[in-house]
Amino acid sequence: MMKILVIDDEASQRDIVADILTDDGFEVVTAGSGAEGLDYLPNEDCLLVLTDLKMPGMDGIEVLQKIHDFNPDVQVILMTAFGTIPSAVNAIKSGAYDYLTKPFNKEELLRVVKRAADKVRLLEENRYLKGQVINRFGYENLIGVSPQMWEIFRLIQKVKDVDATVLISGESGTGKELVARAIHYSGKRKDHPFIALNCGAIPETLIESELFGYEKGAFTGAARSFSGKFEQAGKGTLLLDEIGIMPLHLQTRLLRVLQEKKVSRIGSKEVLNLDVRIVAASNEDLAGKIKTGQFRLDLFHRLNIFNIHLPPLRDRKGDIIPLAKHFLQKFSRRYHRGNLMFTSDALRELETYSYPGNVRELENIIEKTVLLAEGDRIKPENVMLPAVAMYGNAATEEEQSLLQLEKSMIIESLQKSRGSIKEAAGKLGITYKTLQYRIKKFGLDRSEFK
């Protein structure tokens, strides 16, 4: 059932439209103002909106612009009085689907709405086909709609069924292990084990035995035989995470294993043939480590047959909202919080942050937000963003400049309104609570402006 959002400040008109559409089989949600409608939109999954043109506060043109800033695929129909038809025509030039002149009858309303609904369904079909690609090549939290992530999905598709070694690079928290899992679980080895070894999480003295295994009595403390990660992976995939930390003497042995496709347990003369897919990952500059003699050039070339680089989240901001919504659903279920929803202002607040910890940090922020949220609507002041200052220079110069500009605008508005939050919020075009949150965020003292 298609869901339609109806926005009109006149309750009677709003109810008439809603009743007609509901009787014809549509699901309808209503809002009495543009701001209220925009708050519903991110969480109600409405791809068709009917909005009055003339409303106090935010009019239909501004609603249209903000909707298309959020999602250009949403189809907007304007409801307008006869005298404002020229404005409606201009709105169509700006991206509105169509307009209805009041008073309109039931047949006219349904005719325009059904045409718009057909367009929505066509867009949804296209989106579904794209979603099939993501579902086939994505896994768990590997989510994104940005051009950069579409390139990652394309590369996963190309390499998933070949046996070439893959080197995944990218900052910590970008999702390198998720890419490795996507390669494995969407490829021909998906019915075999996926084994991950974090080279940075195991003491240097234990990495060798973890990788290659050992026979009983091979060294002091070897009370039983142990199969290493190569054996455990079998015909599946072995992920060597944080490969740049591996000691040089083990790099030499790993290179030999990759070249000969054979392995022996420590303390054993038996040679085992390997049929395992090797994927390596690193958040370090391996080229720099090669120059300083900390990483073997020949091993780098052996691992880097196929390279996938994951860009940081700050360079693919179009993925922030889809990821945030995914994590919101995940943690709402985990902590039994029902159907929590973001307001549009909260989503915009999430987009202002640089995420030096990348996707992992965003996930952590949303988990804390869910735990501390009150009610079912997450507003800007509920979003648990850390202070940028805690990361020193982690924010880019551009982001620091934007934050300084935002702070300056808030200070100027507070000065002009003599400390009145309500008046300053009106000048800035944001809500009272959002301004309260940002005053606290920047450590401002409102009394200084009175």
Beta-strand (E) ranges in 103-242? Answer: 166-170, 194-198, 213-214, 226-227, 237-241
For residue 167, the cross-strand partners are: 280, 307
Same domain, 382 and 449: no
What tokens appear for 257 in the block? 């294993």
Same domain, 335 and 358: yes
- Exposure on the CB side of residue 432, measured as CA atoms within 13 A: 4
Q: Is residue 55 part of a domain?
A: yes
Same domain, 350 and 293: no
Q: Is residue 180 part of a domain?
A: yes
Q: Where are the alpha helices (DSSP H) in 160-306?
A: 176-185, 204-212, 229-233, 248-260, 286-291, 297-303
Residue 173's alpha-carbon distances to 141, 239, 281, 335, 342, in angstroms, are 12, 16, 12, 23, 23
pLDDT at 393: 43
Instruction: Count other C-beta atoms under 10 Å from residue 114's C-beta.
Output: 12
pLDDT at 44: 62
CATH number for 109: 3.40.50.2300
CATH number for 228: 3.40.50.300
pLDDT at 1: 65
Q: Is residue 290 part of a domain?
A: yes
Nearest alpha-carbon partner for 395 in 312, 286, 288: 312
Same domain, 341 and 225: no
Cα(89)–Cα(86) distance, integer angstroms: 5
Gyration radius from the chain CA atoms = 28
pLDDT at 136: 45
pLDDT at 401: 60
Q: Is the C-alpha dihedral spanning 286, 288, 294, 298 positive or negative? A: positive
Residue 311's alpha-carbon distances to 139, 144, 147, in angstroms, are 18, 12, 11
Q: Is residue 322 part of a domain?
A: yes
Domain that residue 263 falls in: 147-311
Same domain, 160 and 249: yes
pLDDT at 320: 92
Same domain, 283 and 402: no
Same domain, 303 and 157: yes
Same domain, 369 and 230: no
Q: Is residue 86 part of a domain?
A: yes
Cα(324)–Cα(347) distance, integer angstroms: 8
Structural domain count, the chain: 4
Residue 80 near residue 99 (C-beta atoms within 8 A): yes
Same domain, 102 and 172: no
- pLDDT lower than 70: segments of the chain: 1, 42-44, 82-85, 87-88, 125-141, 387-403, 433
User: What confidence tens digit (pLDDT) does each residue in 4-45 have?
Assistant: 999 999 999 999 999 999 988 888 999 999 988 888 876 667
pLDDT at 289: 93
